[in-house]
Amino acid sequence: MKSIEYHLATRHFPNKYAKSLGYLDWANQPNPYKEYTNATKIVLPTPKAQDLHYEQLYLKNETQEINLQNLATFLRYSAAINAKKVVGSSSWYVRVNPSSGNLHPEEVYLILENGVYHFNSKDFTLEEIAKGENLVENGFLVLFTSIPLRESWKYGERALRYCLLDGGHLIASTRFSSNLLGWEMEYINDIDEEALSQLIGVHRANFYENEDEIFESAFYIYTDKKPTINFEKFQNLEFNLEYKKLAKDSIRWSIIFDTAKELKRIETFTTTLQNEIPKLLPSSFGAYEIIDNRRSALGFIPHDVEKEEFLDILDKTLPRNIPPFDVKVTLNSLDFVIFVNSVKGLEAGVYYFSRRENALRLLHQGDLSQDAKFVNCIQNIGKDSAFTINMVAQKPTKEYEYKLLNFEAGMIGQLLYLEAEAKNLRGCGIGCFFDNLITEDILNNDDYLALYGFSIGLPKVDERLIRV
């Protein structure tokens, strides 16, 4: 299925939501942690985070050596468990990187000089799924995949959207973490995705029905010179790919996998970024502290946000050649429809923000907080937030661009999470919204796609959270 057909088929409407099971089959909830059964496990050392100011999320940092100690820090602040939530006798873990419904479809793989590894976030280990020599020179590769089953268990056909958005979250969290170590990170744009997927064995048949793993993206990470991949070294690698089954029983949503096949990038593309450093409002929190504090708000307490803070947050989303956009995986095509509920010094109403032009334009004036609630699947976070952003873009002309648009939306989402924390606020990503109310009723333009929503405000306290 083509990407636009998929997107239109998985829209929510007030009287009809996208197809899903309609209930949560708790007995068959997929395991959010993949574990390779025959792999040698390397226990990662205790991470060591430097005392860096908030501004260093975006600025150049002192280059650290690429070694196991720093790899542990890199993974801890990009994709690891950092807390758990407890309600009565029930508890569950949460991670540094956000995920819709805390379902975490994403998997992380590293290709180091001496082997191919899977990051086991639950055990905080590297699982060696193939041993080799001289596989990569000058740095390493990080590759991201997703397992749609984890999302489709709850969200049905719309799950591919959430997988791609979570891919964007993970790209951004990985970029911020690598930058704090002074490492460069760049999207692998000039190698066919089919060839890249073979480096970690994703092209091979899965052991279990409906547990297909989809290749999403790959990146170079290095200190000074872009890595070289020695493809011939992979030809005779023995992969240990057997893993523990994720679910007892499951349903296959064919529309997800039919669409994913169409999204493979088969050509290079160019990302144009602005070479300027933004003005950085100071924060009382450090860079690593902000990353570790990031959570999704449960709800908001009505509260005025300063106009300067609001504009500063928008400014960070501009396509500049700094983290996270400097990985060069974005098309820089997303703009914002913003419901401004309570920003001091700014009229309430609906605004359009063009990121390419850095221009904010009032579309509809007045208290439209109830509209913000209704548009975003009748959720109070739209009404109670200081402002709510709905990300939109014109329909892509090439299939793989749909994936990149969702990556861009997820990357912006992660940036908004961190910017909210830096200002002692909190954010909440919104995957549930009535698509046509945004594109047709507000913008009056059905050539646009609604991709992601995000609310920011003063959060209600989450008493369930326990640090680990």
Q: Do 3-262 and 297-467 share a fold?
A: yes
- Spell out the residues 6+ positions from residue 26 whose beta carbon is closer than 8 angstroms to its own: none
The CATH code of domain 297-467 reads 3.40.109.10
Q: What is the pTM of this model?
A: 0.97
Residue 468, pLDDT score: 65
d(CA 220, CA 91): 36
- Spell out the residues 6+ positions from residue 51 whose beta carbon is closer than 8 angstroms to its own: 286
Residue 72, pLDDT score: 98
| The two three-digit tokens of residue 272, written as one number | 């144009």
The fold of 3-262 is NADH Oxidase (3.40.109)
Residue 467, pLDDT score: 64
Residue 465, pLDDT score: 58
d(CA 100, CA 160): 11
| The two three-digit tokens of residue 189, written as one number | 């744009």
Query: Rounded to 10 degrees, what is the CA torsion of 314, 151, 120, 466?
Result: 70
d(CA 147, CA 314): 32
Contact 456, 449 (CB under 8 A): no
Mean pLDDT per 10-residue interval, the chain, length 468 residues: 96 96 92 95 97 97 98 98 85 92 96 98 97 97 97 97 98 98 97 94 76 96 96 93 93 95 94 92 97 94 96 97 98 97 98 97 97 97 97 97 98 98 97 97 96 97 67
Residue 464, pLDDT score: 67
In the chain, what is the straight-line distance between the N-terminal and C-terminal CA atoms, in Å? 42
**Total Cβ atoms within 10 A of residue 88:** 6
Backbone angles phi and psi of 101, in degrees to 5: 65, 10
d(CA 33, CA 243): 10
Residue extents of the structural domains in the chain? 3-262, 297-467
Specify burial of residue 134 (Cβ count, 10 A radius: 0-12, 13-18, 19+).
exposed
**Identity of the amino acid at 222:** Y
Residue 232, pLDDT score: 95
